[in-house]
Amino acid sequence: MSTTTNPAFATPPAETTRPDLQGTFGMVASTHWIATATAQSVLERGGNAFDAAVAGAFVLHVVEPHLNGPGGDVTAVYATAEGKTPTVLVGQGPAPAGATPEHFRAEGLDLVPGAGALAAAVPGAVDAWLLLLAEHGTWELADVLAPAIGYARDGHPVAPRVVATIATVQDLFRDHWPSSADRWLPGGSVPVPGTMVRNEPYASVLERLVQAGAGVDGARDAAADARVARIEAARTEWAEGSVAQAIDAFVRTPHRHASGTDHAGVIRASDMAAFRATTEPATTAEFRGHTIAKTGPWGQGPALLQTLRLLDPLDDERLDPSTVLGAHTIAEAQKLALADREAYYGDGDVPMDELLSDAYSDERRALIGDRASHDLRPGTVSVPGGALPPLRVTYTPGGEPIAGVGEPTVPGARGDAPSPDAVAVPAEDDTVHEDRGEPIVMETGETRGDTCHIDVVDRWGNIVSATPSGGWLQSSPTIPELGFCLGTRMQMTWLEEGTASTLTPGARPRTTLTPTLVLKDGEPVVAMGSPGGDQQDQWQLLFLLRTIVGGWSPQQAIDAPALHTTSFPGSFWPRTWTPGGLVVEDRLGDDVIAGLEELGHVVTRAGDWSLGRLSCVTRDPDTGVLGAAANPRGAQGYAAGR
């Protein structure tokens, strides 16, 4: 990262909302202060970055249940002190065997619903975290899970955003999801922020995972082998034991979905038993002397790489998000990359080498014009892309309309005002209230924009960036004996035939989860990420441009005004788009916003502090200095270290 500011960029503010942390021992940043403190406590007691990340992640299940849960997913990018090669942790589960487009159509659906167990992919987060701990951690599972078990059994003060989410879906819980009402409406009412909230069933689930390995005899095996064997026993218990059986039994009862209709889920114990998380090499691209490492195109991560390839050779003044020229150029490049996402990305053979090639990038870069494009313009490579999905600016589900769909409680993600006949619309454009980076939650449980995040670096050079998500409390009914619900990741598939991401049993939905690892001269220097659904990489792009090109500090870049385009089909139900849409924080400035509107951008103002929830950790291989920075929006994310 640059250490001096670039005169071609706007001057960063002298004051930041939080300090750029620096030290030499270890650093953690996450979307909740309790998870950050938990992970840092592991480092302080001799654990490495992987022990710390796993401990913090299981705490996130407890303290940010509106953003992630054990029934959801995780992707991570990491490097070890010994290997330094960027590696992806694949905790995105596939579609169940019974999840066919024909089944959904037989249920009267033309989209996978945004809430309800019918949209559940196989949960991948728990097994992935256990795999990471087994392969690269040093601690025993019991010690790693102890903080999460403690907060689940003994309670923690519930955060205001959790309460706001529960308040939004309280009628859904009372009228249609009684098990969720029992779990999240203590005494029949919405809890007050700061109330001690407990989840004893989930504590018991975690305790059963620990108990599963209790029979492994450490005296017969090397201690390290016994530790791994205990974790492997927990993985088997998760996939084949009481959790899988409870999920199978519970989802067979029809319940209300975001479509306004009732359906049973199709996930079965056999789907759980068939899944194990894996690791794979990261997909990478070079940008201004740095290597950017992302997931493969089964997720949206490579779209960030394509965008960087488009921007790399441009003059520096065209890369500053704080100016009309820069914001316009960035938005237009993102539209091109995200159009390719729709045409090519999915769980299959994707021609990433061509999509990232010099020749293709040069061809696509020439399409960045002086006016805002209102078209979806995927490119052409030697391998044909999939059929383009439906392009809808509004969507009316076939089921009975439900109050609240299309009426966001928080603004910010997608474009124009609704039509009077549309029940579900693309507009989260409340210009009065700020969303402070939280997801859009409807009264039906539909959620757009997701997720939490955690980054950890230790004194030895281990580093990890992870984005857990899905299985949030509003995604489907709580399974009583487990204390959590399933996710809705299958809403990111299409029911139409021939698209790159058409629903296919056994295939992974094209996830939005997209953490980032940055390397320089082969050494990891930054782990970063953000919640935000389709916006995750768009907000991370601004950080990379401001730090690598602009010379801003990490905290300055996180604090800076953010923006993103909505001119592509969204990944979240109801999968709509806003042609030419551009959502901005008001702090971008009236003159810049007016200039963007003059160029044809359909601008939505989202408030002053509303977009992006980035966090990061950094390391300087030459000096050994570590750093961290966290998002101030919503007063919930936190960085710590020394």
Cα 92 to Cα 507: distance, rounded to the nearest angstrom: 10
Is residue 406 pLDDT above 70, yes or no? no
Task: Work out the average pLDDT over 282-310.
Answer: 98
Query: Could you give the C-alpha distances from 359 to 180, 312, 352, 383, 627, in angstroms and in order?
Result: 53, 14, 13, 15, 37
Give the CB-side neighbour count of residue 75, counting CA atoms within 13 A: 33
Cα 478 to Cα 462: distance, rounded to the nearest angstrom: 36
* Token digits of residue 85: 């090669």
Q: So what's the pLDDT on residue 450?
A: 54
pLDDT tens-place string over residues 530-575:
999 999 999 999 999 999 999 999 999 999 999 999 999 999 999 9
**What's the CATH fold of domain 21-281+437-568+609-641?**
Glutamine Phosphoribosylpyrophosphate, subunit 1, domain 1 (3.60.20)
Q: So what's the pLDDT on residue 442?
A: 58
Is residue 363 pLDDT above 60, yes or no? yes
User: Domain-by-domain residue ranges, the chain?
Assistant: 21-281+437-568+609-641
Render the burial of 436-461: b for 16+ CB within 10 Å, e for the rest: bbbbbbbbbbbbbbbbbbbbbbbbeb
Q: Are 464 and 473 in contact (CB under 8 A)?
A: no
Per-residue pLDDT band at 444 (split at 50, 70, 90): low
The values of phi and psi at residue 526, to 5°, are -145, 135
Per-residue pLDDT band at 331 (split at 50, 70, 90): very high
Cα 13 to Cα 8: distance, rounded to the nearest angstrom: 15
Peptide bond into 574 cis (omega under 30): yes
Percent of the chain predicted with pLDDT > 70: 90
Residue type, 600: G
pTM of structure: 0.94
Q: Are 302 and 356 in contact (CB under 8 A)?
A: yes
pLDDT tens-place string over residues 581-610:
999 999 999 999 999 999 999 999 999 999
Percent of the chain predicted with pLDDT > 90: 88
Ranges assigned E (strand) in 356-469: 440-441, 447-448, 454-458, 463-469
Q: Following DSSP, what letter does each residue of 459-514 receive, concatenated?
A: TTS-EEEEEEEB--TTSS--BTTTTB----GGGGSBSSTTSTTB--TTSPP-B---
Task: Work out the average pLDDT over 305-315.
Answer: 98
Cα 165 to Cα 278: distance, rounded to the nearest angstrom: 32
CB atoms within 10 A of CB 155: 15
Contacts of 135 (CB under 8 A, 6+ apart): 279
Q: Following DSSP, what letter does each residue of 168-197 receive, concatenated?
A: HTHHHHHHT-HHHHHHHSGGGSPPPTT-EE
315's enclosing H/E stretch is none
Per the DSSP assignment, residues forming a β-bridge with 564 are 583
pLDDT tens-place string over residues 173-194:
999 999 999 999 999 999 999 9
* Token digits of residue 401: 């309309």
Contacts of 475 (CB under 8 A, 6+ apart): 69, 71, 72, 115, 116, 119, 445, 447, 485, 486, 487, 488
Q: So what's the pLDDT on residue 398?
A: 65
* Token digits of residue 269: 């114990």
Is residue 399 pLDDT above 80, yes or no? no
pLDDT tens-place string over residues 449-474:
458 999 999 999 999 999 999 999 99
Is residue 430 pLDDT above 60, yes or no? no
- Range with the poorest average pLDDT among 35-44, 228-237, 411-420, 596-605: 411-420
Helices (H), 357-472: 358-365
Q: Are 297 and 351 in contact (CB under 8 A)?
A: no
397's enclosing H/E stretch is none
CB atoms within 10 A of CB 394: 19
Residue type, 427: A
Is residue 396 pLDDT above 50, yes or no? yes
Q: Following DSSP, what letter does each residue of 29-46 receive, concatenated?
A: EESSHHHHHHHHHHHHTT
* Token digits of residue 372: 């805002």
* Token digits of residue 443: 């009264």
Distance of CA 130 to the CA centre of its chain: 19
Cα 64 to Cα 70: distance, rounded to the nearest angstrom: 11
* Three-state DSSP state, 87: strand
Q: So what's the pLDDT on residue 124?
A: 98
Q: So what's the pLDDT on residue 405?
A: 30
Task: Work out the average pLDDT over 95-110.
Answer: 97
| Among 280, 294, 348, CA closest to 90 | 280
Instruction: Look up residue 54 and give its DSSP letter.
Output: H
Is residue 486 pLDDT above 70, yes or no? yes
Cα 129 to Cα 140: distance, rounded to the nearest angstrom: 13
Q: So what's the pLDDT on residue 451?
A: 84
Cα 229 to Cα 276: distance, rounded to the nearest angstrom: 15
Instruction: Look up residue 455 and give its DSSP letter.
Output: E
8's enclosing H/E stretch is none
Render the burial of 88-121: b for 16+ CB within 10 Å, e for the rest: bbbbbbbbbeebbbebbeebebebbbbbbbbbbb
* Three-state DSSP state, 132: helix
Give the CB-side neighbour count of residue 93, counting CA atoms within 13 A: 36
Is residue 400 pLDDT above 60, yes or no? no
* Token digits of residue 505: 């049993």
CA-based radius of gyration for the chain? 23
Contacts of 2 (CB under 8 A, 6+ apart): 547, 548, 549, 550, 551
* Token digits of residue 52: 């710390």
Instruction: Look up residue 616 and give its DSSP letter.
Output: E
Task: Work out the average pLDDT over 255-264.
Answer: 95
As a whole number, the mean pLDDT across the chain is 92
